[in-house]
Amino acid sequence: MDKISCTLLVDDDRINNFLNQRLLEGLNMTEKLLTALNGKEALSLFEKECREAKCPALILLDVNMPVMNGFEFLEAYDQLPFTSKTPVIIIMLTTSLHPRDVERVQRLGITDFVNKPLTKEKVNDILKAHFDRELPQE
């Protein structure tokens, strides 16, 4: 399977980040995995990566975080120069979605939603739906 060039994982819960990082590394589906604990950290990492290497192709973004939440990240992300963010698949990671949040996210151009926790099956669904590839069968 062709790996995704770079994935950015954004979640304020260190345990979730650790478990998701282990899952993604174990699935061997990305060349480079970056992690951030909030939207502000993620924005900084994203911009740095775009300048120095290649923009992340996939962002897994938690909704509720301190400092800068998922919505605030998306609003700031939308202000970045267009050339630095093509094409990026942004998946919101959430435990529940209030209808108001669903509407808000749709306006912000999110690619998809995935309910936590992230699993091998959910990662495979993301790969199939948005990258036209899938994890090798065991």
SS (H, E, C) the chain: CCCEEEEEEECCCHHHHHHHHHHHHHHCCEEEEEEECCHHHHHHHHHHHHHHCCCCCEEEEECCCCCCCHHHHHHHHHCCCHHHHCCCEEEEEECCCCHHHHHHHHHCCCCEEEECCCCHHHHHHHHHHHHCCCCCCC
Q: Residues 12-60: pLDDT tens digits?
A: 999 999 999 999 999 999 999 999 999 999 999 999 998 888 889 999 9
CATH class of the domain whose range is 4-117: alpha beta
Q: Residues 5-15: pLDDT tens digits?
A: 999 999 999 99
Ranges of each domain in the chain:
4-117
Q: What is the pTM of this model?
A: 0.91
Look at the alpha carbons of 64, 60, 28, 130 in this order and tell me if their dihedral is positive or negative.
positive
> Mean of the pLDDT values across residues 119-129?
95
pLDDT confidence band for 129 (50 / 70 / 90): very high
Q: Residues 71-116: pLDDT tens digits?
A: 899 889 888 876 566 688 999 988 766 777 667 766 776 788 888 8
